[in-house]
Structure 1
Amino acid sequence: MERKISLSHMAFYRGWLNGLSLREVADLYLETGLDLSRARSTLLWIQDTLCQAVLRHGRHGEAHLLRLRLFDRRGGAYTSGAVPTIEDFRAQLDPGELWSDDELQVRYRKAYPHALERRWLRRAALLARQAATLTWLEQWLVTAPTLADPLAAWLDASLVAYLAKARLTTVGDLKALMVNRGYHWYAAVPALGRVKAARLVQWVQGFAGSWGSLPATVLNPPRAIPAGAAQRLLALVAGSTGALTIAPLEVFVVPRRVPDPSGVTPLIDATDDRGAVTAWLYARAGSTQAHRAYRKEAERLLLWAHLECGRGFGQLTEEDAAAYRDFLLGLGRTRTAAWPFRISQSDWCAPRHTSRQHARWRPFDGPMTPQSVVYALSVVRILFAWLAAVAYVPRDPWATLAAPTAQFGPSPYSKHARMVSVAAWEGLQAGVAGMSSPGRERAEAMLWLAVVTGLGQVDLATATTDRLYTVQDQDGGTRWMLKVPGRKAVSLPDGVMQRLTAWWESAGLATDPAVLPSGFPLIGRLDSRQRHIPLTPTGVSLLMKRLFTIGRAACRRAGDFDGAGLLAKASVHWVRRTTGGVSAEASALLFQIQQLLGLSIATTPNDAAPWQNFPGEDSAVENIAQQKRAWERCFPSAPFRVEEREEE
């Protein structure tokens, strides 16, 4: 398809003719940015297209003129508009006409030494003619894109190839993806990347006058949405009627709590269910990861109770609790005609990763597995047990609810599921050992820090030097400790610290944590300028996935296809489970594994992730038989031991 000329192309070519470097004009006007090879090919294409256009009108002189770069770095661009005529010069500096003609000529030549030179005047005339030709071409050659136009008509072929992988063919498809997915829309386009995505957003935003401006959720990261965006979102999704509608917890408006007829005053200041959920999250969610997980399940129940049942938490009954269990089990699996609830299944679901700031956000992204339903109900049980304890609700309707028994196929979990085997771990280390420096040192530091401490991806991303400290050993030596928010400090053996210092040294940093700046990340990454910047939790997950891919290849070379299969499915959480498994095989006590990994039996289903089913100190029920069954399912070779923890 023939590519079309836009205003940005004309500005790009005009800036290059007027003396700007190719890098400068490409960065200003092209969607390919600082890719100079694409900029050169675009420059030649624009030049050929403009010359062919004037040749079709018989203007052969202009065709040659458009290829001339008249800018002279020694004498400027020879623009006649910057040099006044001699009459204007007299009117400006000698309005009383006190100078003679000879004196005026001398002063004029001194101020503008090239103004009367024949060569300078000729270049100025050619430049003016060149500018006039470009303006004439712009009037009839340049058109504005429409949403129905193919992307190949406006964008560089390299970008079109990326977008085609996501089945984006028109300009409207591209804008719709941005609007629907928000700031991280480019995650739906394989290998596009953040830099190219930002260029495309800038290109689309350049036509805001004809297409409409992109929303703030596309232009800003989720955590940098301007103040007041939540209120604007609420107005967008609820309209002017004020009726309840599906919306995120932070903007969902619920009626005030109905007072308890018995006159009992709650121990919290919440005036509605949203405030009660917020107070519970503040009291019980000890980490950012737990806060998100708890909020998701409480948010789902809150929306269902008010929108489907029309009742608040205090009015829910045992029948409502059973109905919510059936709602979770049947969502996305029930035929439309057999769906027993008022709100349709499709209204509860939206594509995964839809931004919470977007009007199309929904609390579900599709059917839930039975294990996910069990987990969701366990979180709801904890919520209502706490609400009953603080007298916000008169009774707990979930206390007598039976766990769901429906199964949609065999459970994917086994005794040693989601754990890295010894052979797979050796293959992973062998693959990492073949990497080049400094990537090898960083990978070894990440793997050893993760498997020794059992930290999750959030804690690994936020681990910094100001959380390191030393303690005295009984034998007189010292050892390093790492403070983890919401948990007790974890010990860092010498092997971990040696690999951390080796990573810092390979990155050109100091090897003493005390010398490094406060808040310096233990595991970061080097940017293009060799600056050490922290990883995000998603960055930690992607790094571990990349290391598992390297380890999988090493396992295949060694003939260990079972280990390669494990690493193909592994994640950061598998490393945590491996840490617990190693501790169990070493006959660690129950509370020691719990402290190491920060686990609780109350929020993990028994059949879903058995080795997480060990009770926290705040568990409502201490069921030793349940603990023993969970332990034996995961660690059949290790003895089950429960001992009282000594008071410190």
Structure 2
Amino acid sequence: MANRPQQLMLPSSRTYSRTEFAALRARVQGVSVSTIARLYFDPDTAPYAGGLDQVESFLRTMRDELVQLALLHGSPVLADHLKASIKKHGSAKLTAVTLRMVEQASRLAAAVPTGNHPVGLWFRPLIALRLTAAGIPTLGALIDFCNLRGGSWWRAVPRIGLLRAQVLIAWLRRHADSLGATVADDVDPVDPLEASATVARVMLSPAGTAVATMLAPLERVAVPHALSGGEGPHGTGKRGTNRAPVFSYLRAAHDLDAVRAYLHRYRDRPATLRAYTRELDRLLLWAITVRGTALSSLTVDDCEAYKDFLASPSAAFVGPRTARQSPRWRPFATASLSPDSQRYAVRALRAAFDWFIAVRYLAGNPWQAVNDPVTVRRAHAMRIERSLPAGLWIRIRRFVEERSAGLDATGPRWRAARAAALLMGDSGLRNTEAALARREQLRYVPADGEVPASWELEVLGKGRKQRTVPVSDACIAALAAHWRDRELDLAAPPPSAPLVAPLVIPATQAAQRRHGEDQAQSGRAGYSGNGIRGLVNWAVRQVREQLVITEDERRQLADTTPHALRHTFATQAAVDVPLDVVQRVLGHASLQTTTIYVQAEKKRVRRELVGYYQRMAGAGAPRSEHD
């Protein structure tokens, strides 16, 4: 009896996930249990949490249970083969081919994915870890995330590339019935830089009103001739009612040509170009889809209506921030603009229309009759309250320096973040200025009498104004360490190189195109403004989580941005350094702007008033008979 092979009797079968099936396939193909545990199982949950023996036992039980289901539901040939293997070996010995047959016959053992399942149940641990780190814990959350962000969703999840995103989307759609939701049809993972430029059109309905089939930015929108502001082919359409009757200095056949000519003036000022493009994007789409009129036919009434629209844009115009190439792009990222943003929009449009008159494209400017939106005049236009107190800033600097000395995998990232943070916190650079700073603009200045030797950096700042800022010794040391990670020598630099640059540029075509292949290979490709902002934000999050600080300090760090480091420099420097020096370093056009950083005066006002209130409270107390 003991030598006779026994048929294993199992309890009612449990269900298995896609990841567990993949682990069993690997085991059948001879992959070691330790490798399987590392690749397919979460170390904090069963069966991995019980050790390698537990993993091996789990896979053996899974195999035997699948074999029993295959004996019940498989073909007679497969059943005979399995019975013979059990009789000979005591348990079924599977090959890759027979395992595939067993899986097909044992579909009853396959789990059905549902929306509340954790992503780790169905995807490999590395993928699940990256998804959960991005705030996507469940399959349902992943579907919502994809539908919210569109085809470029994967770009918001670190190290989830285009090909893997395509596989995940296909899997989610395949299981849409059991998940109870599906990924939208227009969520196709494509690289925006590789995708063809789909032109969004604004069509005319039979009633003659404009219907937007898809809102799109200026570079991709196609406007019907009747709303273009210019004459269409063969005399169709009509000129805008505000078009100038005299010879125009522009070769603009319609409003889109005129708008693009205006924006072309700012091609060498990227920040200004982005801002003006945004405002003209919004006005053009609103005019043709909401008002049903050409840009060159707007009246004062139209402009007043648009000013009201800015305070509360319609839902069709609002969507999450995404690439301009995405079909999910929308003109507004929020459901309402602040009064200051509304005022900026009106002023920007008024200036654009003034230019259209100057080049004799338009006859008049309806925006001149529109008042600016009412705003609150603040005592401090800049949010200097975000600047860090001196004590906290010193502790943060020490913490980041300690992390930068580490030899682990995060050490190079800490060293890059430290260099960027000190450029802003010690030299008062803006975020974009730090990103654009280059080694050829950094120079060593020898000692001159009582003035010690130092380093200084030439910066091209706001409004294309050039200035020179000092660079601290701590920042130079941080830059030198960061350059060593890049296998470069700060003291013997190449002819041209950014001060701070990513160590690894993804091998994707989009990244190579963005940085340039020659730059990617030579180390001359630097961070973008958004990239360096993300780097410093990452460091601030780590500080908030790891540094021992008070709850008030933790709350303040939660509201700290890279630009707050510039405010920190200005606030601390204004205490001991003459204001005209601080003004020059910061690049302020007016000394009055710099004076808002004089916090000592503000604190003195508070101190004096508190004392005054206390004295008044004492004077109001009842007097004794002897007073």
State the TM-score, normalized to the length of structure 1.
Answer: 0.62
| Equivalent position of 1:155 in the other structure | 122
| Equivalent position of 1:110 in the other structure | none
The secondary structure found in structure 2 opposite 1:524 is coil
> 1:369 Cα deviation (Å)?
1.9
> 1:181 Cα deviation (Å)?
0.9
Q: Deviations over 1:410-454 (max 9, x none)?
A: 999678444444444334324334434155644442222123554
- Cα contact 1:428–1:554 (8 A) shared by 2: no
| Equivalent position of 1:17 in the other structure | 28
| One-letter amino acid matched to 1:504 | H
Matched, 1:386 2:358: no
Q: Distance in 1 between matches of 2:109 and 2:536?
A: 47
Residue pairs, 1:105-120, within 5 angstroms? none
Matched, 1:541 2:522: no
- Cα contact 1:181–1:355 (8 A) shared by 2: no
Q: Deviations over 1:474-517 (max 9, x none)?
A: 96999654464845364453636622443236637333354458
Assess, with a 3 A threshold, how the Cα gap between structure 1 residues 506 and 145 changes in structure 2: closer, same or farther: same
Q: Distance in 2 between matches of 1:53 and 1:567?
A: 53
> 1:291 Cα deviation (Å)?
2.9
Q: Distance in 2 between matches of 1:579 and 1:216?
A: 46
Q: Distance in 2 between matches of 1:516 and 1:398?
A: 51
Q: Deviations over 1:274-329 (max 9, x none)?
A: 33333333313644343333322221112112222223333222332222222212
> 1:571 Cα deviation (Å)?
1.0
- Cα contact 1:52–1:63 (8 A) shared by 2: no
Q: Deviations over 1:235-267 (max 9, x none)?
A: 6x9799994453332222234333666533333
| Equivalent position of 1:275 in the other structure | 257
| One-letter amino acid matched to 2:194 | I
Matched, 1:194 2:150: no
Assess, with a 3 A threshold, how the Cα gap between structure 1 residues 326 and 164 changes in structure 2: closer, same or farther: same
| Equivalent position of 1:104 in the other structure | none
| One-letter amino acid matched to 1:55 | Q
- Cα contact 2:152–2:322 (8 A) shared by 1: no
Identity %: 20
- Cα contact 1:483–1:489 (8 A) shared by 2: yes
| One-letter amino acid matched to 2:190 | N
- Cα contact 2:154–2:189 (8 A) shared by 1: no
| Equivalent position of 2:346 in the other structure | 377
| Equivalent position of 1:568 in the other structure | 558
| Equivalent position of 1:119 in the other structure | none
- Cα contact 2:67–2:82 (8 A) shared by 1: yes
Q: Distance in 2 between matches of 1:393 and 1:474?
A: 59
- Cα contact 1:445–1:523 (8 A) shared by 2: no
- Cα contact 2:537–2:561 (8 A) shared by 1: yes
Corresponding residue to 2:579 among 587, 595, 610: 587
Assess, with a 3 A threshold, how the Cα gap between structure 1 residues 276 and 500 changes in structure 2: closer, same or farther: farther
Q: Deviations over 1:158-179 (max 9, x none)?
A: 67796699687556x6345324
The secondary structure found in structure 2 opposite 1:393 is coil
| Equivalent position of 1:347 in the other structure | 316
Assess, with a 3 A threshold, how the Cα gap between structure 1 residues 395 and 452 changes in structure 2: closer, same or farther: farther
Q: Distance in 2 between matches of 1:468 and 1:633?
A: 29
| Equivalent position of 1:366 in the other structure | 335
| Equivalent position of 1:256 in the other structure | 228
| One-letter amino acid matched to 1:17 | V
Q: Deviations over 1:219-246 (max 9, x none)?
A: 3343x23224x23xx26x9799994453
Q: Distance in 2 between matches of 1:3 and 1:412?
A: 62
The secondary structure found in structure 1 opposite 2:421 is helix
For structure 1, the 5+ residue unaligned runs are 70-124, 332-344, 600-613, 615-626, 639-648
- Cα contact 1:374–1:404 (8 A) shared by 2: yes
Q: Deviations over 1:94-146 (max 9, x none)?
A: xxxxxxxxxxxxxxxxxxxxxxxxxxxxxxx9767x73464144144279998
| One-letter amino acid matched to 2:221 | F
Corresponding residue to 1:495 among 473, 478, 481: 473
Corresponding residue to 1:457 among 423, 431, 447: 431
Assess, with a 3 A threshold, how the Cα gap between structure 1 residues 54 and 444 changes in structure 2: closer, same or farther: closer
| Equivalent position of 2:394 in the other structure | 426
Which stretch shows the higher mean deviation, 265-274 or 360-369? 265-274
Which stretch shows the higher mean deviation, 476-485 or 501-510? 476-485
The secondary structure found in structure 1 opposite 2:489 is coil
- Cα contact 1:183–1:220 (8 A) shared by 2: yes
Q: Distance in 2 between matches of 1:459 and 1:572?
A: 12
| Equivalent position of 2:6 in the other structure | none
| One-letter amino acid matched to 2:292 | G
- Cα contact 1:349–1:366 (8 A) shared by 2: yes
| One-letter amino acid matched to 2:101 | T
| One-letter amino acid matched to 1:522 | V
Q: Distance in 1 between matches of 2:482 and 2:118?
A: 46
| One-letter amino acid matched to 1:569 | D
| Equivalent position of 2:366 in the other structure | 397
Assess, with a 3 A threshold, how the Cα gap between structure 1 residues 357 and 291 changes in structure 2: closer, same or farther: same
| One-letter amino acid matched to 1:568 | A
Corresponding residue to 1:307 among 249, 271, 289: 289
- Cα contact 1:427–1:563 (8 A) shared by 2: no
Q: Distance in 2 between matches of 1:326 and 1:184?
A: 32
The secondary structure found in structure 2 opposite 1:271 is coil
Corresponding residue to 1:49 among 62, 65, 77: 62
Q: Distance in 2 between matches of 1:550 and 1:541?
A: 14
Q: Distance in 2 between matches of 1:395 and 1:304?
A: 20
| Equivalent position of 1:220 in the other structure | 190
The secondary structure found in structure 2 opposite 1:264 is coil
Residue pairs, 1:72-87, within 5 angstroms? none
The secondary structure found in structure 1 opposite 2:366 is coil
- Cα contact 1:3–1:152 (8 A) shared by 2: no
Matched, 1:325 2:307: yes
Q: Distance in 2 between matches of 1:214 and 1:419?
A: 43
| One-letter amino acid matched to 1:202 | V
Assess, with a 3 A threshold, how the Cα gap between structure 1 residues 284 and 385 changes in structure 2: closer, same or farther: farther
- Cα contact 1:244–1:253 (8 A) shared by 2: no
Assess, with a 3 A threshold, how the Cα gap between structure 1 residues 238 and 514 changes in structure 2: closer, same or farther: farther
Q: Distance in 1 between matches of 2:110 and 2:454?
A: 69
Q: Distance in 2 between matches of 1:264 and 1:50?
A: 85
What is the CA RMSD across the aligned residues, in angstroms? 5.4
- Cα contact 2:435–2:529 (8 A) shared by 1: yes
For structure 2, the 5+ residue unaligned runs are 1-12, 73-78, 177-181, 230-238, 507-520, 602-627
Assess, with a 3 A threshold, how the Cα gap between structure 1 residues 181 and 580 changes in structure 2: closer, same or farther: same
- Cα contact 2:486–2:503 (8 A) shared by 1: no
- Cα contact 1:525–1:535 (8 A) shared by 2: no
